[in-house]
Amino acid sequence: MSLRQFHLLFVSIVTCLFLGLGGWALVEYHQQESQGSILVWLGVASLATAVGVVIYGVWFLRKTRRLGLIE
């Protein structure tokens, strides 16, 4: 496994983890009796970070293609 492939795998795993954390936080917010706003912020920040990681992954893929690093 090349370093590029590992990097893309790591970006994919991190994206899935942030999506899971964001979804969990928002579901917990809606299920709790006392509506703590920290769960909303955690959910929104996690989902925004997941979007940012996806944008970074696309940028990285385009950069490696442009540099001719595709195997």
What is the average pLDDT value for the chain, to the nearest integer? 90
Confidence of residue 34 (pLDDT cuts 50, 70, 90): low
pLDDT value of residue 70:
61
Q: At residue 36, does pLDDT exceed 80?
A: no
Spell out the residues 6+ positions from residue 60 whose beta carbon is closer than 8 angstroms to its own: 7, 8, 11
Q: Which amino acid is at 30?
A: H
3-class DSSP state of 57: helix
Least confident of 1-5, 26-30, 44-48: 1-5
Residue type, 26: L
Q: Minimal CA–CA distance to 3: which of 49, 11, 55? A: 11
